[in-house]
Structure 1
Amino acid sequence: MLLEVKPRSKEKSGKLTRLGGQVKETVQEYIAGAEHGDRRPRHPRLLVMRARLMSAKLLGVLCRSICDPRINSGPQEIRPAESLAQLLLFHLNSKSALQRIAVTMVLCEWAAEQKESELVSSMVQPRLLAILSEHLYYDEIAIPFTRVQTECKQLIALLADAQLHVHERFNCSVLTIDQANELVTTVFSEMTAEVNTCSQTWAALEGKHQQAAAAAAEAGSEWQRLQLRVHTFCACAAVGLGPLPERLNPLVRPLMEAARREENTLVQGHAAAAIARLLQRCAGRTPCPNSKVLRNLCSSLCVDPLLTPSVSCPTPTPAAPAGGNASQEGGRDGAHHMVSKTKGIITLYLHQKAAFAVTSKRGPAPKPPKNLSSEVAPNSTATMDTDESKKPSLIQRRGAEFSLTTITKHFGAQLTMALPFLWETMIGPLKAVVEGREGLDVPLLLEKGDTVAQELVGSLQVLEVVAGAIAPQLIPLLLEQLPHLCLCLQHPYTAVRHMAARCVGVLSKIATLETMEIFLERVLPWLGAIDNSTKQEGAIEALACVMEQLDVDIVPYIVLLVVPVLGRMSDPSDSVRFMATQCFATLIRLLPLEAGIPDPPSMSDDLIRQKARERHFLEQLLDSRKLENYKIPVPIKAELRKYQQDGVNWLSFLNKYKLHGILCDDMGLGKTLQSICILAGDHFLRVQEYAKTKAADSTPLPSLVVCPPTLTGHWVDEVGKFCTKEFLNPLHYTGPPTERARLQHQVKKHNLVVASYDVVRNDIDFFRNIKFNYCILDEGHVIKNGKTKLSKAIKQIAANFRVILSGTPIQNNVLELWSLFDFLMPGFLGTERQFAARYGKPILASRDAKSSSREQEAGVLAMEALHRQVLPFLLRRMKEDVLQDLPPKIIQDYYCNLSPLQVQLYEDFAKSRAKVSVDDTISTTEPEEEEKPKLKATGHVFQALQYLRKLCNHPALVLTPQHPEYKRVIEQLAAQSSSLRDMQHAPKLSALKQLLLDCGLGAAGGADGGTEAVVAQHRVLIFCQLKSMLDIVEQDLLKPQLPSVTYMRLDGSVPAGQRHSIVSRFNNDPSIDVLLLTTHVGGLGLNLTGADTVVFVEHDWNPMRDLQAMDRAHRIGQKRVVNVYRLITRGTLEEKIMGLQKFKMSIANTVISQENASLQSMGTDQLLNLFTLDRDEKADRSEPSSSNPEKASMKSVLDGLGDLWDQQQYETEYDLDSFMHSLQ
């Protein structure tokens, strides 16, 4: 059937059969026939070619069996081999390219199966050589060829009508493809040079010219493809059958052309095998063509500048993105690492380029074809780049790669003797670099110039490709070149260092133990050569290549690599630091496997002892319980609890190894005290060390604490409370610009500066010029968005040690971790693009409602990988785990029914134009839309949410004079002898009053002239989101209804310098019953253990913020049960939002505990439901929820949590005045 393949253009229709009332066509199909080209798999031509080659192999075996004399031993007039040869000759005379290809495939396989094939060769070989010189238009291009004739003749006719006669030059009845190309290029241009381009004649000519040119290009391309493939397989068969003709050029040319231009990898592989056999047969010829063939293959191997860099321009200059410039794109978030002729790391550039490509693509990345990996060489560029302009060079390199690896495997141990030119090409330039000297002569190498260096790059490129296929007997010869390769890692040219690193990586794969011993002994120490960045760059790039090649096989050596790499994560060189952090990130993920892997049997005793020493460090890094106890060298006026001492031990461990981390203990566990201990202890030790040694690395430096403005006074007070000024002398850096300018002169007199985030941002020109010992960010999640001015300013601060304190380091999603670690250890999580490619894309894809099970699994695996990577640098303890004496926290939802006035306004909104506009926006906004139009379209959606949110609190917040219903409602209330500020219209105020009365505050006796206790039984924190709601609580409830209740107020209107005094007074004066706070100002970092009751009149839709706020009272020092009441209006937007955003502790534990979970997006239907009033009101509910919920499973968290909204989407700055006009 394979031999009977018919071209599509001449295929007859199948038989027609009538069955009932229907006519059905029966089509005869063939193995790998032309009809299979119409199927639409991902790689159809590759699959068809594989089927044809397999069928040919089957027929080759069959031909061998038929010709076996043991099977056909009887008398025969014509021998089977002769009969088969005549049959094959018949098909070789066909004008069908497919039939010729099929026959030559079978001949190739037959020759491979039956070594003695002189009869077949003598009959078939002349025809094969004749085909190689034929110029034939095959049957397969009949249709495109006919189209060319039609289009060209119509073009000639149009030219004649325009008095442009070309008949003299094209008077033949049939044009060749070359003539057609000449007509549509040079001839057309010459003939129409004087034609008016604005005339109708020109329009007709140009339209027909384009059609003719397209037809000629299509036919020419298809003919060239078929011609190349026919000649390639003919040459393969001729080489396989033998004997070779005197002139080898007809055989060599198609094989080399296939290696350069053939798109199908299987055909290229076939040509590569034929080239190897041809070189073997030509080894004894004079003159021998082998050197010329190998030289061409080595040149083709180096044509791709991305894989074989140029020494003068190691990396292609990236094109500037539309609407921007390349320098901006390649900034801190790292689109591309900049590489010069002598500085930089090309491997780092390639990693960032790959991440950029992944994150720039819309939709999922294309998946490689299944079951085809065996057809592609390990380092093949087949799938690297789909840019059409780069395709020819990629194909040429791939063909050379196939050919050289096939040749190397074919000759095996005889390679050095049979092909000395190839061996010398690999080894010669490498030996010439050293030239008998101990080290590299850098000035001499630079003097020799780019040409010599480029020759070395080409040599190393050949070595990298050939080494992977070399025979085991030759590996010792290769290893003799390893010291020379190591020296090349110090070469002044970036491209040479890159290629040497890749060669070291390949050698580590084929001779792991021998390579790693030399690498650990000679190369790894170069990482510490801070006075020679070239050595550092070469060493870290070599390590990256070794890790890439070995993958999990690097595990036995991880312990020996981690500590040296760790030391380079704070290197002053950007390229070394980023490459080291990437290497460390990979090593740390594999580290848990190391304990179960035995040492290689032949590992030296020195390496085994070194592993034991380094393992002790790693055990401390991965398990905080094994940390050495740190004895604080200065007196601290507090007795540390065990977990606090453990936290100080962990901070000391980070200090010892110059690491950085996040102390993310649960709120109220004493993160401030632990930080003060390590600050005071390290400052004291540095002063002592400097007094002894005067060493530059122990010079006394000040430390910096950056915190929210409310906490600056708290920090200064805590430092004074626990430590004397002899050891820590804090400067409270606050006040207006003139006052801060005066304080700048006092910084040198203090060893600790305490400032707020906004102050540091405004005075960053001052702070970035100071080298600090410690930089501690309290509530460090403030820098979660790395693109804000605040985050960029904070990351400019230079410090020996960087620590983030945060009880909730992850507020919205795990992707916020990148900015935090970009401050701590820039590059540890890669660039922002790499982080998005490795973690962001799979995690976000798994959150899509339409995601497949495979995408969900990939998201979970990415989350777990991120957890493993960051875990050593996070310390997290929960209250319920470490505090046995802390009283419980009980959260209760206190439901209120809307007042008739609120219901009326809620329903008026549901009928308004604003509601219709919101519905339209939500229903039509697609996730594929661009970000800016999307934000613009949904702006009024958040205005609507804000309107309903205020309405749930109090109608006075929305019923302003701008409201269209204002006048009517006021008149309606006046008729009822009521007013807008009456408590009956605000059920939350009534509920709050009842809660305060239940707490024993504002008892009725006060109004009757009786007396009540000076100190109440309970003290209350009342949290609101808006200052306007605090005003209503104060003016409409406390003053008129509960005059005996004493209260204080803390919101944004209180200057930052006075806030700590209010907190201190409330904690120390039990006669103050209530503290009114806004969540934004009072919800972070404060110690308010004087209260035991927390009431949320309003709720932050980010549950982390409310969780932070309620833990102002539930923390160390609290002796009473803390009751938390959340006032929720039933059946409204508020209830639905609170139902979506569950107060689960597993939210905070997503990445920093074993529960890695992400948050799903809110669906369109859910969002629309927020704007409707739920009429199915249920009975009054008060649902206590434990403060220690069980940890949710991964699936339950993924399924049950709504996406947390950004603060900017619902803050009070939304202007509702204009929104009011749409309520009509």
Structure 2
Amino acid sequence: MSFNAFKEALKPCTANSTSSASSSQISQQLDSTISSRKPPKSSLSRQLLRLRDDDDFFPQTQPKSVKKEVDSTPRSEDDDADGGKDNEFTVRRDPKLESFHQFDTDGPYEPLVLSPPGEIPVVQVPASINSRLLEHQRGGVKFLYKLYRNNHGGVLGDDMGLGKTIQTIAFLAAVCDKDADYSDLASDNGEHSKKMGPVLIICPSSVIHNWENELSHWSSFSVSVYHGPNRDLVINKLEARGVEILISSFDTYRIQGNVLSDIQWEIVIVDEAHKLKNEKSKLYTACLKIKTMKRYGLTGTIMQNKLMELFNLFDWVSPGCLGTREHFREFYDEPLKHGQRSSAPQRFVRVADERKQHLVSVLQKYMIRRTKEETIGHLMMGKEDNVVFCAMSELQKRVYQRTLQLPDIQCLINKDLPCSCGSPLKQAECCKRTVPNGLIWPYLHRDNPDGCDSCPFCLVLPCLVKLQQISNHLELIKPNLKDEQDKQRKDTEFASTVFGTDINLVGGSAQNDSFMGLSNVKHCGKMRALEKLMHSWISRGDKILLFSYSVRMLDILEKFIIRKGYTFSRLDGSTPTSLRQSLVDNFNSSPSKQVFLISTRAGGLGLNLVSANRVVIFDPNWNPAQDLQAQDRSFRFGQKRHVTVFRLLAAGSLEELVYLRQIYKQQLSNIAVSGKIEKRYFEGVQDCKEFQGELFGICNLFRDLSNKHFTSEIVEPHENQEKEHYSTKLDLSELGISFDHPQKEMLDECATESVGNEPDKDKRETTLNPGLDDLGEFTHFPCNFFRQIFNSL
């Protein structure tokens, strides 16, 4: 259909119309064009007026008698399929119009009506937005409007990457009456769209620009950002009703909450709403003062560490929906935790199941949650989650054991023993409350030699950090030249003590500046495993995301990658926000980029790196959501390959306990949020001194695991019980699970458990994990071993 015919179809019918095509032909052509094209953001009529008036943008066609520019290329019958006399020649079009003529929609070009039949005014998502929504996104928009109509809040808890931002914008366009097909024309005629109060969006500072861009791309909101300088001008504009949507960051709202809480908001949306998990935080306190009942949280990780975080989030979006804090703790929290204990009596298990079902039924009124598997799984190739337990080097083991013998850690291990002075008090309450002869305690209390109110428990976090650093790389415990002099002296003394007679093997206690020394994998178990894995992946053309929580560890990994000759990009906290997206785009578009080094803290949100198909989490985090968000940078809509994730853990170290606690937390989340049935692996109960079991308590944190098969000792008995219960053979080696000592050879290449399509599983099992069967001294545990636990990833 020619552009002239298209314009004629939009003109009012007159008696003098000289159109050469019949009205029925024009109508058919118009319907065909509108139903199949990618709709513009603004109204169709205004778009055409702008094109008609802009001679440079779109060259005007001439009547049939004036053939201004004729394409001499021979015509085929297909070229005349559009009909109309203008098809006797082809007008040369400006390349800038290519996007206008691209017909790419996900659905029919029609509005999505949200309001009930017969309700006036009709609330609907504009056709220009609805046509580009996926089916699950339309369901999410309907859910948000249902909450809005009932005048209470809720949670959009879809998995990461399912378009929570787009669903929210579509919902706002509907309630703000942003119909792209007629609202702009109505404004030109002096009419105004539905008047309502302003909308507040609170989000991480790293995604403010993303919200701005998406809002402008999908609709025509008046948006201002309350962040950084000129905040007073924004408030003035807001008071003059010149702002429809105000965007602010968590930090800004935490500080300026008193100013913004005085405004009567129509809707408040908190992106990454799991930030509201702590009721004692200043951010949570500030958000409680918001003056509206229409509060909506967006998060893919509704619960991270504790069940009470679930209560805090839902008590904010809809106050009182789960009762009081004490009621929730007694009625849901305690029964669910104790019912999941491995040796829980049957009546505990029965009560926990009843409370779980009741909790899920209540949450469904205020939350909608969909996973990738049930929504876009058929559009993706799936994801496989693997754990590689890497044997620490012999030097790492010796340093780790010397650290456990330090007076600071021994004080924590023996805290509950009777005091040697004959007092009836425990050591932590008597003579061993302080550790003047320690290496860490004197520095922490350099300004308070008598100790603090928390002694000796103030030592727990610093000691855990030291053990985690040793598990990852020995260079991390050496002094950092960026620290103050006192801390450098303390770290030097600590390193000299724990290195002991091996100090020459690590190049002394001072920070190593040698490129060859830092890039050497000899004394780091994880880097030896990584070296073998990456060699195999790179040879196959894979692209790798490599995450670490520590920037110093990223520095070491960067030198290792340079030594190996791999091309890479890097993003951490020092990377300017303005450059981050260009780094991502360059990595996705450049075949030569092989590795992307990313700080878990800086790159866990807002990055879309679908060109990578291998993800390595170098060091695990206590919070499982951190690792899951890192994995999700690659496993998103648009990923064309199967994604394989590898978590590297130092066997026999604190990291095994970190991983098992991740499993425990993920189990509780699956039970409370989704109502799933989980295996009862653990005896420990979170926040219960009576049942600390194998996971909780200070003594477990600082236990020497170097001579234990810790993970296998916990899991293998339960797998054997399941085998006896079902009277079937359950050969763990067939699942790719090896409980051999990390120093022994792996038995077989792992089997896989994927999320999404499995078009050719037998073939994938022999191609997706190259190098695993050659790791030698590294034991591999695929996560299908915990398939019920991670089935929502």
Q: TM-score, normalised by structure 1?
A: 0.40
Q: Is the 8 A contact 1:999 1:1017 kept in 2?
A: yes
What is the RMSD of the two structures over their aligned residues, measured on CA atoms?
Answer: 4.2
Per the alignment, residue 909 of structure 1 pairs with 403
Q: Does 1:899 align with 2:393?
A: yes
**CA positional deviation for 1:1180:** 4.6
Relative distance call for 1:938 and 1:874 in structure 2 (3 A) is same
1:717 counterpart letter in structure 2: N
Residues of 2 paired with 1:661 and 1:1165: CA distance?
Answer: 37
Residues of 1 paired with 2:386 and 2:659: CA distance?
Answer: 12
User: 553, 574, 577: which one pairs with 1:1029?
Assistant: 553
Per the alignment, residue 753 of structure 2 pairs with 1186
**CA positional deviation for 1:1121:** 0.7
User: 941, 945, 952: which one pairs with 2:471?
Assistant: 952
Q: Is the 8 A contact 2:520 2:560 kept in 1?
A: no
Per the alignment, residue 702 of structure 1 pairs with 198
Moved more, 1165-1174 or 1081-1090: 1165-1174
Q: Is the 8 A contact 1:1095 1:1126 kept in 2?
A: yes
Query: Over residues 72-91 of structure 1, what are the superposed CA-to-partner deviations in whole Å (9 max), with x where a residue is unaligned?
Result: xxxxxxxxxxxxxxxxxxxx
1:1086 counterpart letter in structure 2: L
Query: Over residues 430-465 of structure 1, what are the superposed CA-to-partner deviations in whole Å (9 max), with x where a residue is unaligned?
Result: xxxxxxxxxxxxxxxxxxxxxxxxxxxxxxxxxxxx
Instruction: Give 3-state SS (helix, strand or coil) of 2:200's partner.
Output: strand
Per the alignment, residue 1111 of structure 1 pairs with 632
User: 528, 534, 550: which one pairs with 1:996?
Assistant: 534
Relative distance call for 1:780 and 1:1091 in structure 2 (3 A) is same
Q: Is the 8 A contact 1:970 1:979 kept in 2?
A: no
1:891 counterpart letter in structure 2: D
Instruction: Give 3-state SS (helix, strand or coil) of 1:655's partner.
Output: helix
Relative distance call for 1:981 and 1:1093 in structure 2 (3 A) is closer
Correspondence list, 1:868-887, <5 A: 868-883=361-376, 884-887=378-381
Per the alignment, residue 888 of structure 1 pairs with 382
**CA positional deviation for 1:678:** 0.5
**CA positional deviation for 1:1056:** 4.7
Q: Is the 8 A contact 1:711 1:1060 kept in 2?
A: no
Relative distance call for 1:1068 and 1:651 in structure 2 (3 A) is farther
Per the alignment, residue 460 of structure 1 pairs with none
User: 1026, 1037, 1047: which one pairs with 2:569?
Assistant: 1047
Per the alignment, residue 780 of structure 2 pairs with none
Residues of 1 paired with 2:677 and 2:211: CA distance?
Answer: 33
Relative distance call for 1:851 and 1:989 in structure 2 (3 A) is closer
1:940 counterpart letter in structure 2: L
Q: Does 1:830 align with 2:323?
A: yes
Q: Is the 8 A contact 2:546 2:618 kept in 1?
A: yes
Residues of 1 paired with 2:193 and 2:416: CA distance?
Answer: 59
Q: Does 1:986 align with 2:518?
A: no
Residues of 1 paired with 2:150 and 2:507: CA distance?
Answer: 73
Relative distance call for 1:901 and 1:886 in structure 2 (3 A) is same
**CA positional deviation for 1:1071:** 4.2
**CA positional deviation for 1:888:** 0.9
Query: Over residues 929-985 of structure 1, what are the superposed CA-to-partner deviations in whole Å (9 max), with x where a residue is unaligned?
Result: 9xx99965433233332222111110011244122435754335569x995764312
Q: Is the 8 A contact 2:178 2:193 kept in 1?
A: no
Correspondence list, 1:642-791, <5 A: 642-684=135-177, 699-721=195-217, 723-724=218-219, 726=220, 728-735=221-228, 738-747=229-238, 748-791=241-284
Residues of 2 paired with 1:1064 and 1:700: CA distance?
Answer: 38
Query: Over residues 246-266 of structure 1, what are the superposed CA-to-partner deviations in whole Å (9 max), with x where a residue is unaligned?
Result: xxxxxxxxxxxxxxxxxxxxx
Q: Does 1:818 align with 2:342?
A: no
**CA positional deviation for 1:988:** 2.2
Relative distance call for 1:885 and 1:1072 in structure 2 (3 A) is same
Relative distance call for 1:885 and 1:1165 in structure 2 (3 A) is closer
Per the alignment, residue 1177 of structure 1 pairs with 742
Residues of 1 paired with 2:363 and 2:453: CA distance?
Answer: 33
Relative distance call for 1:1115 and 1:907 in structure 2 (3 A) is same
**CA positional deviation for 1:781:** 0.8
Relative distance call for 1:1094 and 1:850 in structure 2 (3 A) is closer
**CA positional deviation for 1:889:** 0.5
Per the alignment, residue 267 of structure 1 pairs with none
Query: Over residues 529-564 of structure 1, what are the superposed CA-to-partner deviations in whole Å (9 max), with x where a residue is unaligned?
Result: xxxxxxxxxxxxxxxxxxxxxxxxxxxxxxxxxxxx
**CA positional deviation for 1:763:** 1.7
Q: Is the 8 A contact 2:380 2:639 kept in 1?
A: yes
Residues of 1 paired with 2:385 and 2:536: CA distance?
Answer: 16
Q: Is the 8 A contact 1:1132 1:1174 kept in 2?
A: no
Q: Is the 8 A contact 2:651 2:706 kept in 1?
A: no
Instruction: Give 3-state SS (helix, strand or coil) of 1:983's partner.
Output: coil
Relative distance call for 1:805 and 1:901 in structure 2 (3 A) is same
Per the alignment, residue 458 of structure 2 pairs with 939
Relative distance call for 1:954 and 1:1087 in structure 2 (3 A) is same
Instruction: Give 3-state SS (helix, strand or coil) of 2:364's partner.
Output: helix
Structure 1 or 2, whichever has the larger Rg, is 1
Relative distance call for 1:1152 and 1:688 in structure 2 (3 A) is farther
Per the alignment, residue 858 of structure 1 pairs with 351
Relative distance call for 1:1184 and 1:706 in structure 2 (3 A) is farther
Instruction: Give 3-state SS (helix, strand or coil) of 2:295's partner.
Output: strand
Residues of 1 paired with 2:304 and 2:386: CA distance?
Answer: 22
Q: Is the 8 A contact 1:1000 1:1017 kept in 2?
A: yes
Q: Percent identity?
A: 28
User: 1015, 1018, 1034: which one pairs with 2:542?
Assistant: 1018
Per the alignment, residue 533 of structure 1 pairs with none
Correspondence list, 1:559-570, <5 A: none
Q: Does 1:971 align with 2:542?
A: no
Flag the structure with higher helix content.
1
**CA positional deviation for 1:834:** 3.3
**CA positional deviation for 1:1110:** 0.5
User: 1110, 1124, 1128: which one pairs with 2:649?
Assistant: 1128
Relative distance call for 1:769 and 1:751 in structure 2 (3 A) is same
Q: TM-score, normalised by structure 2?
A: 0.61
**CA positional deviation for 1:915:** 4.0
Residues of 2 paired with 1:1184 and 1:1085: CA distance?
Answer: 32
Structure 2 unmatched ranges of 5 or more: 1-113, 116-121, 419-424, 430-450, 480-491, 509-513, 687-691, 709-740, 757-784
**CA positional deviation for 1:654:** 1.9
Query: Over residues 1070-1123 of structure 1, what are the superposed CA-to-partner deviations in whole Å (9 max), with x where a residue is unaligned?
Result: 543332222222223432223222111111122222112201211111111111
Correspondence list, 1:443-522, <5 A: none
Correspondence list, 1:275-354, <5 A: none
The alignment covers a number of residue pairs equal to 542
Q: Is the 8 A contact 2:176 2:194 kept in 1?
A: no
Instruction: Give 3-state SS (helix, strand or coil) of 1:798's partner.
Output: coil
**CA positional deviation for 1:780:** 0.5
2:605 counterpart letter in structure 1: L
Q: Is the 8 A contact 2:404 2:702 kept in 1?
A: no
Correspondence list, 1:250-649, <5 A: 631-633=124-126, 635-636=128-129, 639-649=132-142
Residues of 1 paired with 2:502 and 2:136: CA distance?
Answer: 59
Per the alignment, residue 728 of structure 2 pairs with none
